[in-house]
Structure 1
Amino acid sequence: MENETSEQPDLVVLLGPTASGKSALGIALAQEFNGEIVSADSRQVYIGLDIGTAKVTPAERALVPHHLLDVVEPQEIYSVSQFQHDAIAAIQAILQRGHQPFLVGGSAHYIQTVVDHFDIPTVAPQPDLRARLESQPLEQLLAQLAVLDPVSAETIDSKNPRRVIRALEVCLVTGKPFSQQRGISQPLYRCLLLGIDWPRPLLYQRIDSRIDERMQQGLLQEVQEQLARGLTHERLDSFGLEYRFASRLLRGEFASEAEMIQKLKYASHDFTRRQLSWFRRDKRIIWLNAEGDLLAQASSAVQTFLAHCSPT
């Protein structure tokens, strides 16, 4: 869908798989182009989930203003429609300050809701229905979704219970497939989409190193602190692989910490493959060669884009 008109404000989007270097590059670009960053990460909105989400540090936030970090407590549900509303509000405020907005993150669905201005079904959470769905095995939920909404069943992150349950919730409350209720409105922004492209073996090495670093930084302690504050293991499972595997280790589901770390690395590689498959479908993305001068490539693309020319 063509979304570039002279009347639309400019939005630079920096995306890519986990551990690709989005945060550092986003900060460097924002510093160069008088920008502010809106995080497009479905987990960094939660207060206290810092290590497992690779949230930027206070020192990094001091370099460039960041938005949509630490928005809600982890006990609360933060939906994609809430993200869309908050992200657009943050971008508009950045534009009003005369600064350049950068949308930076790896949550593809979150990014799409802003770039393509999705009309998202506004079905309020149904606590009783959600509780019933949460009590069912994920395989059973996926089978039910495949019957009610085959399109969503094919495209959804099948290992994310929260997404599966939300799609089922909308289907069951409205009586219509979730995928048929998500339309596209007139885009709000003229967007430049930049992706960071690593050779797969190097990317896997970066992922493995990041997991080792997270363990050294205290991932298990972070999970134990959340449990002490009343967060359930089931809720932790919904926050992605790092929290799911750490929670399982604390429940005694792995023979050792070393086994958990190795299996987490393999699972993260698999998740990254699915992330990249999703991103590769979007032909608007300009992929930057991470083995080259990444900042120079990105700066050139942004400069060309902001001059209202077509980047190459």
Structure 2
Amino acid sequence: MGNETNIVQPDLVVILGPTASGKSALGIALAQRFNGEIVSADSRQVYRGLDIGTAKVTLEERALVPHHLLDVVEPQEVYSVSQFQHAAIAAINAILQRGHQPLLVGGSPHYIQTVVDHFDIPTVPPQPELRAQLEARPLDDLLAQLEQLDPQSASSIDRQNPRRVIRALEVCLVTGQPFSQQRGTSNPLYRCLLLGIEWPRALLYQRIDSRIDERLQQGLVQEVQEQLAKGLSHERLDAFGLEYRFVSRWLRGEFTSEAEMVQRLKYASHDFTRRQLSWFRRDKRIVWLDGQANLVEQATTAVQTFLKHTKEISTL
């Protein structure tokens, strides 16, 4: 028999959940307790200058615990899921080499799954002519075609993000196979504990609405205006999620008032959260924590039990 410690996978703690559920604060608290470092799993926080609308952790919070994969590229650049996967794995492995505990924290399901399940991501290169044809069509038309070709992707994708819808369609049309079925998995790199934060739906919506109000008070509109002044297009802003999309549309005169924009943004955020939760609910590995109880206490107990198992195996 060989030495069994050679096959023990490194431990990765994952904190996930819907918007405004409290992931960042919990991640920092756990990192402080378990000598950890945080790898962000957020598809928008990789962009520099998009701080308020993405609820990026503050510099003061980053001083408490090392954070990775924040402010990686400029908003004009496109940062792919494949790029994230490679960067996240490199960051996690570096944390492990330092003898610290990695925590993957975020709410972007595709980003999380590429690491946890070690996806083989389709490597279909961009098709400029096909993209131009798709970009000329209405978003509703694109979504209808995606629902026909790949219902699974259509149900999980950000349906108001034309760039992602076009990319999923592009892969389907070029390969003749659903995008969702092309993400094979390699052998998992880590033994993962997936912790989700759960709130009653009505209370979660209240938290989302409060966060939107806070972001506007913190200067979300000014943040969008600054990006436009730097040359970022309204079309590019649409790709950065609901907050940027709705403020951009308001600045273009698409709403009768700021109040209408805010209310429509809140409703759209509720809808996005419902789909986010539906995606997470399919993963039966997730241990759900009660957001109304002591989150840190619940999570600490779960992590201690998880890490204890590895220590027991390594001593065999």
Q: Which string of whole-angstrom CA distances, capped at 9 and with x for unpartnered residues, describes residues 206-254 of structure 1?
A: 1111000000111111101111111111111111110010001100111
Counterpart code for 1:171: C
Residue type of the alignment partner of 1:285: I
Separation in 1, partners of 2:202, 2:153: 31
How has the CA–CA distance of structure 1 residues 134 and 190 changed in structure 2, closer, same or farther, with 3 Å as cutoff?
same
Counterpart position of 1:93: 94
Distance (whole Å) between structure 2 residues aligned to residue 59 and residue 247 of structure 1: 29
Larger CA deviation: 211-220 vs 153-162: 153-162
1:52 equivalenced with 2:53 (yes/no): yes
Map of 2:281 onto structure 1:
280
Separation (CA, whole Å) in 2 of partners of 1:243 and 1:286: 32
Distance across 1 between alignment mates of 2:88 and 2:132? 28
Give the residue type in structure 2 aligned to 1:146: E
- SS at 2:227 equivalent: helix
| Aligned-residue offset at 1:143 | 2.5
The one-letter amino acid paired with 1:51 is: I
Please state how far the C-alpha of 1:259 moved relative to its aligned partner: 1.0
Shift of 1:7: 1.4
- The one-character-per-residue Cα deviations of 1:249-300 (angstroms, maximum 9, x if unpaired) are 1001111111111111111111111111111111110011111111000001
Residue 306 to residue 153, structure 1, CA distance change in 2 (3 Å): same
Q: CA deviation at 1:66?
A: 0.4
Residue 33 of structure 2 is aligned to residue 32 of structure 1: yes
How far did residue 170 of structure 1 move?
1.6
Alpha carbons 2:156, 2:276 under 8 Å: kept: no
How far apart, in 2, do the equivalents of 1:209 and 1:150 lie? Answer: 33
Give the percent of matched residue pairs that are identical in Structure 1 and Structure 2. Answer: 82
Structure-2 residue corresponding to 1:61:
62
Measure the CA separation in 2 of the matches of 1:289 and 1:179: 31
Unaligned 5+ runs, structure 1: none
1:44-93 CA distance string (max 9 Å, x none): 00111100000001110111010110111111111111111111111011
Do residues 202 (structure 1) and 227 (structure 2) align? no
Query: Is the contact made by 2:84 and 2:111 (CA closer than 8 Å) also made in structure 1?
Result: yes
Written as runs of structure 1 = structure 2, the 5 A alignment for 1:10-29 is: 10-29=11-30
Distance (whole Å) between structure 1 residues aligned to residue 107 and residue 155 of structure 2: 20
CA positional deviation for 1:149: 3.2
1:177 offset after TM fit, Å?
2.7
CA distance in 2, matches of 1:148, 1:59: 46
Distance 1:278 1:168 in 2: 20
> Partner of 1:307: helix, strand, or coil?
helix
Instruction: Report the Cα distance in structure 2 between the residues aligned to 1:225 and 1:154, rounded to whole angstroms.
Output: 33
Q: Give 1:147 deviation, angstroms.
A: 4.0
Structure 1 segment 97-116 matched on structure 2, within 5 A: 97-116=98-117
> 1: CA distance between counterparts of 2:197 and 2:155?
26
Structure 1 segment 1-312 matched on structure 2, within 5 A: 7-308=8-309
- Give SS of 2:309's match: coil
1:138 counterpart letter in structure 2: L
Question: Residues 48 and 289 from structure 1, CA distance in 2 versus in 1: closer, same or farther, beyond 3 angstroms?
Answer: same
1:176 CA displacement: 3.1
Q: Could you report, residue by residue, the CA deviation over 1:78-129 in whole angstroms, capped at 9, with x for unpaired residues? A: 1111111111111011111111000000001110111011110012233443
Output the CA distance in 2 between the equivalents of 1:101 and 1:149: 34
CA contact (8 A) 2:156 2:275 kept: no
Q: CA deviation at 1:6?
A: 5.6
Normalised to the residue count of structure 1, the TM-score between the two structures is 0.94
Offset at 1:148?
A: 3.6
Larger deviation, residues 146-155 vs 70-79: 146-155
Deviates most, 95-104 or 123-132: 123-132
Q: Deviations over 1:145-184 (max 9, x none)?
A: 2344344334433222222111112223334332232111
**Aligned residue pairs: how many?**
305
Q: Please give the alpha-carbon distance, in whole angstroms, between the structure 1 residues aligned to 2:180 and 2:134.
A: 19
Secondary structure in structure 2 of the residue aligned to 1:173: helix
Rounded Cα–Cα distance in structure 1 between residues aligned with 2:292 and 2:153: 35
Give, in angstroms, the shift of residue 137 of structure 1.
1.1
* SS state at 1:308 partner: helix
Gaps of 5+ in 2: 1-5, 311-316
